[in-house]
Structure 1
Amino acid sequence: MAGDDLAERFLAMLAVERGAAANTLSAYRRDLDAAREVLGDPASADGPALASLGKAWEGLAASSLARRCSALRQFYGFLVDEGVRDDDPSGALPRPRIRRPLPRLLAREEVERFLALAEEETAGERPEAVRLLALLELLYGSGLRASELVSLTVAAVPRDAPFLHVTGKGGQQRMVPVSSRARAALSRWLAARRSGAKFLFPSSGASGHLTRVRLFQLLRELAARAGIDPTRVSPHVLRHAFATHLLEGGADLRVLQLLLGHADIATTQIYTHVDSARLVALVNARHPLAGKRDHGK
């Protein structure tokens, strides 16, 4: 079977079985095309050919090289699963070492000031102010991604349960708890929003929802009014604050992984940088042998 056909079958599998988004599929297609420029037909490449990619792609950033190699590893795994190849040569691919950047953070006091101003600005019950408070409470109180938040439908907010039904990356669904503060803000917003709209945060158009770009702008405008450097604030920064502050409070890493919707716990582990001294103290205080004397003395 021609390499192009195999690549299309691989991409179709990602879409159907893993729910890969269109942007993800486009990125994989570009990575396979880049490999084809060097290898000819990637489907028939052997180990030495794959090892040569390190030299051919030496000008790439480590993160870009890692992404391309990840796409190829999955492609060869697919070929083996489909019986197209008996061997998996992907072990010869370069393995660049990349360091995950630490997330930007807001201190608890800054988040409190941010939320306090948003609450204060709802005094006149202006719909725009009530909406912003609800958006903030869900970003910081539930740790939603910006795309998850703006695309929430009214049906995703059960009126008799403190949870949201969230559709995350790859179409994966999860239940996200909503704090009492966020529930109160949501109730105010549901009473103020345009009735009949499908989305919880509808746009000014007939059927769309608030865009991520507009959400970003609203947060930075509020940050400026609160005396916080706007360049330090974004939806993702508030999601990071949610995760970091929960971990500081003793949350289990696996629970945090579920709340954030991370497929791999390695992604969640980036938050363990937040307070190493507190984590050591937590082990000393909570470990079953904590406080027991050393019987060897």
Structure 2
Amino acid sequence: MKNDFKYIDLFEEMLLSEKMSSQNTVRAYRKDIELFINYVHKELQTSVLKITSNNIRRWLLYLNKNINLSRNSHSRKISSLRVFYKFLVADGYILNNPAEEIKSSKKYMTLPKVLSIEEVLKLIKAIYPLNNPRAYRMLALVELMYSSGLRVEELVSLRLNSINFNNATIFITGKGGKERIVPVGNIALKAVKEYLNYRNEYFCLNKKSIWMFPSNSSKKGHITARRFSQLLTELSREAGLNDLKISPHILRHSFATHLLSGGIDLRILQELLGHSDISTVQIYTHVVDNEKKKALRFHPLENNI
């Protein structure tokens, strides 16, 4: 039983080296599997290698009873166990995957929060009065994310040579090591160029740093997703938008929704966002539909009925 946590380490190593999974994905898997192993040891007093499908069902019932598991969380935990046990089967630790026959709950469709175009502009305008090197960096970060719809991890880990200023494109290595090239707008390019005037002097003690947004205090060598989120929260406060709880994800969702409202083809949007499954992108059509319904409230006949 003590060796069970060793399998998580091996599983994590496989995800990072073979699947090229993101750190966030790996953390989510690890959290779910550690939770399961702790239950197996405490309640069943056995090893994860001796688990049956019924044991997994009992665990899910246990979670529902004790922490009121949402349908989305329920599905994610089943998915985590499926991938974990698939790894154990592939590496010869067990013969069958006990999680394979567990059915996931139907997911709720939670519409992503988005900002209006006016709110995005208000957020950006709040940066200008600050007029210092950190403000130029923040402007570059926000403009790039809203211009190209990058994931936050993709944004903060951009390399210095990732942007082709001549072709107005960004080379990105995304989830699972998948590479893509996305266009970037002139306003965002201008913001990056202005920031680069300050990069070496104010943010880069290591002159050989390969990162577009280096950080002297980060172990990764570049500004972290968490730090950017903190800066975005501070900026939201400056812009008077604190109640919207703006996050990097909301900026990315806003990028996608505004493009879709403008008539972009769903397949092209899928490529820009780096999603492998178009169904992941289709949720934005529901956001646009919702906005259209809201707009109907201002129709003259609606107000006279």
State if a TM-score over 0.5 links the two structures: yes
1:27 aligns with 31
Match of 2:143 in 1: 137
Report the TM-score, using the length of structure 2 for normalisation: 0.75
Q: Given the superposition, is the C-alpha separation of residues 135 and 43 from structure 1 closer, same or farther in structure 2, using an over 3 Å criterion?
A: same
Which whole-Å CA distance do the structure 2 matches of 1:54 and 1:32 have between them?
9
Aligned-pair distance for 1:243?
0.9
Q: What does residue 70 of structure 1 align with?
A: 79
Q: 2:111 aligns with which of 102, 113, 131?
A: 102
CA distance, structure 2, for counterparts of residue 211 and residue 13 of structure 1: 24
Tell me what 2:211 maps to.
199
Moved more, 101-110 or 158-167: 158-167
- Aligned residue pairs: how many? 276
Match of 2:241, SS state, is coil
Q: Tell whether the 8 Å contact from 1:54 to 1:94 is kept in structure 2 after alignment.
A: no
CA distance in 2, matches of 1:127, 1:10: 42
Answer whether contact 1:14 1:25 (CA < 8 A) is retained.
Answer: no
Alpha-carbon distance change, 232 to 278 in structure 1, aligned in 2, over 3 angstroms: closer
Equivalent in the alignment of 2:18 = 17
Q: Distance in 1 between matches of 2:288 and 2:126?
A: 28
1:149 aligned onto 2:155: yes
What is the aligned counterpart of 1:233 among 236, 246, 257? 246
Q: Does 2:271 correspond to 1:258?
A: yes
**Cα distance, 1:198–1:205 mapped onto 2, change above 3 Å:** farther
Give the structure 2 partner of residue 90 of structure 1: 99
Residue 110 of structure 1: CA displacement? Answer: 1.5
Aligned to 2:129: 121
**Shift in Å, 1:152:** 1.7
Alpha-carbon shift at residue 192 of structure 1 (Å)? 2.8
Asked if structure 1 preserves the Cα contact closer than 8 Å seen for 2:33 and 2:81, the reply is no
| Deviates further, 85-94 or 215-224 | 85-94
Cα 1:113–1:86 shift into 2, 3 Å:
same
Whether the 8 Å CA contact 2:158–2:172 is kept in 1: the answer is yes
Distance 1:174 1:227 in 2: 35
Shift of 1:241: 0.6
Q: CA 1:16 to 1:221, structure 2 compared with 1: closer, same or farther past 3 Å? A: closer
Q: CA deviation at 1:83?
A: 6.0
Q: Secondary structure at the match of 2:223?
A: coil
**By how many angstroms is 1:70 displaced?**
0.9
Structure 2 residue ranges without an equivalent (≥5): 202-206, 294-305
Q: CA 1:150–1:82 in structure 2 vs 1: closer, same or farther (change >3 Å)?
A: closer
Contact 1:32 1:71 in 2 (8 A): no
Percent identity between the two aligned chains? 37
Q: C-alpha displacement at 1:80, in angstroms?
A: 4.7
Q: Is the counterpart of residue 158 in structure 1 residue 164 in structure 2?
A: yes
Stretch moving more, 184-193 or 203-212: 203-212
TM value normalised by structure 1: 0.76
Q: Secondary structure at the match of 2:99?
A: helix
Distance change >3 Å, CA 185–CA 79, structure 1 → 2: same
Write the distance in 2 (CA, Å) between the matches of 1:152 and 1:8: 28
Please tell me the residue identity of whatever aligns with 1:198: I
Matches within 5 A, 1:25-64: 26-27=30-31, 29-34=33-38, 36-37=40-41, 40-59=46-65, 60=67, 61-62=69-70, 63-64=72-73
- Offset of 1:245 from its aligned partner? 0.5
Render the CA deviation track for 1:253-281: whole Å, top value 9, x for unaligned.
2322222223443332321212228999x
Deviation at 1:57, TM superposition (A): 3.0
Distance (whole Å) between structure 1 residues aligned to residue 36 and residue 47 of structure 2: 10
Match of 2:34, as an amino acid? R
- The letter for the 2-side match of 1:108 is I
How many angstroms apart in 2 are the aligned matches of 1:158 and 1:229? 34
Shift of 1:242: 0.3
- Distance in structure 1 (CA, Å) of the matches to 2:273 and 2:134: 27
Deviations 1:18-56 (A, max 9, x none): 123352553354155146335633334344444433333
Secondary structure of the equivalent of 1:176? Answer: strand
Matched letter for residue 30 of structure 1: E
- In structure 1, the residue matched to 2:303 is none
1:101 deviation in Å? 2.7
Structure 2 Cα separation of the partners of residues 3 and 42 of structure 1: 10
